[in-house]
Amino acid sequence: MTKDLTTGNPMRLIVGFTLPMLLGLLFQQMYNMVDAMIVGKLLGANALAAVGATGSINFLVIGFCAGVCGGFAIPVAQRKGAGELSRMRRYVANAAYLAAAFAVVLTTATALLCRPILTAMHTPDDIFQDAYLYILIIFLGIPTTFLYNMLAETIRALGDSKTPVFFLALSSCLNILLDFALILYFHAGVAGAAIATVASQGVSGLACLVYVWKKLPVLHPNRAERRLNAHSCAVLCSMGMPMGLQYSITAIGSIVLQAAVNGLGSLYVAAVAAGSKVFQLLACPYDAMGATMATYCGQNVGAGKLDRLGRGVKDCALLGLGYSLAALGAMLLFAPACTMWFLDPQEEQLELLVSLTSRYILILTMFFFPLALVNIVRFSIQGMGFGTFAILAGVLEMIARAAMGKFFVPVFGFHAACFAPATAWICADLFLIPAFAVCVKRLRRQYRNLSGAEAQTRPALRPQKSNA
C-alpha cells in the first residue's frame, strides 16, 4: 500500500497521490459542511452565524494540531526515502509521545480560554452562547484530532494516500447520522453538531490505529525504538512546531478579520460563514496538492534526488492553474445555488444574504491560483525540511489579514472582508516563490559538502539542523 515517490514521472506520481488525498479531504470537509447545512436549515441563520463566528479560532487551534502532526510526518517520510526504517520507527514512537503531550496541554488551555477569546472578538450577543458551546465541545475533542491526524499523516508519509480515505468515509457517514439524530430528534442544537464532529473524528482515528497495528508492521517499534529520545523529539519539534505555528499565525490574522466582520452584524457573519463553507470545499484540491508535495519532497530529499524537487513543484502548479480556471467557471454559474445549501428558503432577508454570500465566494475564487501556489510551494518547503520559511510566510498572511480587518473593513465594509484572503495569499507568494529557490540552492550546497558515504546514509539531517 506504500508508494515510492523518488522514481518515475513526477506528474503521474503527484496526480496518483493527490486524487486519494483529495477524496479524503472531501470526506473531511463533510464534517463542517453537514454541520453548517443542518444547522442553517434546521436552526436558522443565527445558529449558522454562531458556528461561523468560531471559524477563525477553530482554525487557530485545530489547524495548529493538524500542522504539528504534518510536521511530525516529515522526518518519517525522509527516513522512508533514505531506507532507514529503524530510525523511521523511532521517529514514529517519539511523535506519539509528543502528540499525547500536546493534546493534554491544548485541551486544557483552550477549554479555559475560549470564552474570553470570543468576548475579545466582539461576538454578537445574540449568537454568543451558541458559539461558546460549539467551540468548547470542539476543543474538548482535541485528543481525537491528534489521534486521527498523527496516524493518517504517518501512513501518508509511507506513500499510502488511499487508506485514510476509507476511514474518513466511514466517519463522515457517522457524522451525518449523528447530526440528524442529535439536532432533529434530541434537540441538542449547535452542541449536537459539535458532538457529532468530535465523535466521528474519534472513530476515524481509532480505525487508523487498528489498521496500523494489524497491517503495517513496518511501523511497529521494538523496545529500543520505543524509548523516549531527546534528539528525535528535537528533530520532530523542529519540523512540527513551525508547521503548526504557520497555521496558528495565519489564524491570528483571521481572528482580527472575523472580529471586524462581527462588527458588521449577524447577517454579514452568516454570509461569511456560508461562503467559507463553500470555499473550504472548493479549496480541497489545493490542500491535497500541498499534502502531496510535502511527502513528495520529503522522500526525494531523503533519497538525495534534488533535481526532482523543482520539476515536481512546476507540474503541481500546472494542475493548480487548471483547477483554478475550472472552479472560477463553475462559481460564475452556480455560486447562488451553492449558497442555498446552507440557508433556509424561509429565512428573512434571504435575497440579500444570497447576494452577499455569492459575492464572497466569487471574489475568493478569482484568486484561486495564488492560493494554489501558497499551498504547493509552502508544503514543498516544509517537506524539504525548512519549516522556518513557512512560518515567515504565515506571518505575512497574518499581517495582511489583520491589516484588512483593522483598517479596511471598518471603512469599506463587506467588500474589504471579501478581498482580505486574496491579499494574504498574494503577500505569501511574494515571499514563498523566491524562498523555494533559496532552499533548493542551500540543499545543493549542503549535499556537495557531504562525503559520498555520508550522503548515502544521512542525506536529510543537514537541512533539519540548518533550521534548528
In a domain, 442, yes or no: yes
Helix extents (H) in 39-84: 45-53, 55-82
Q: What is the pLDDT of residue 465?
A: 40
In a domain, 13, yes or no: no
In a domain, 339, yes or no: yes
Give me the phi and psi of 122, to 5 degrees please: 60, 40
The 8-class DSSP code of residue 222 comes to: -
In a domain, 9, yes or no: no
Identify the CA nearest to 269 among candidates 353, 358, 351, 362: 353
In a domain, 243, yes or no: yes
Q: What is the pLDDT of residue 308?
A: 92
In a domain, 12, yes or no: no
**What are the per-10-residue average pLDDT scores of the chain (468 residues)?**
78 89 76 71 78 81 90 88 89 96 96 91 86 94 95 89 83 86 88 91 92 92 93 91 80 80 83 85 91 89 88 95 95 89 73 89 95 94 83 86 89 90 93 93 82 45 38
Q: What is the pLDDT of residue 464?
A: 40
Q: How many folded domains does the chain comprise?
A: 1
- Rounded to the nearest angstrom, the gap between the alpha carbon of residue 27 and the centroid of all alpha carbons in its chain is 14
Note down the domain range covering 306: 22-467
Q: How far apart are CA 8 and CA 235, in angstroms?
A: 29
Helix-strand-coil split of the chain, %, nearest 5: 85, 0, 15
Q: How far apart are CA 27 and CA 355, in angstroms?
A: 28
Neighbours of 104 (CB within 10 A): 12
Q: What is the pLDDT of residue 83?
A: 84
Q: What is the pLDDT of residue 462?
A: 42
In a domain, 16, yes or no: no
Q: What global pTM score does this model have?
A: 0.73
In a domain, 413, yes or no: yes
Q: What is the pLDDT of residue 47?
A: 84
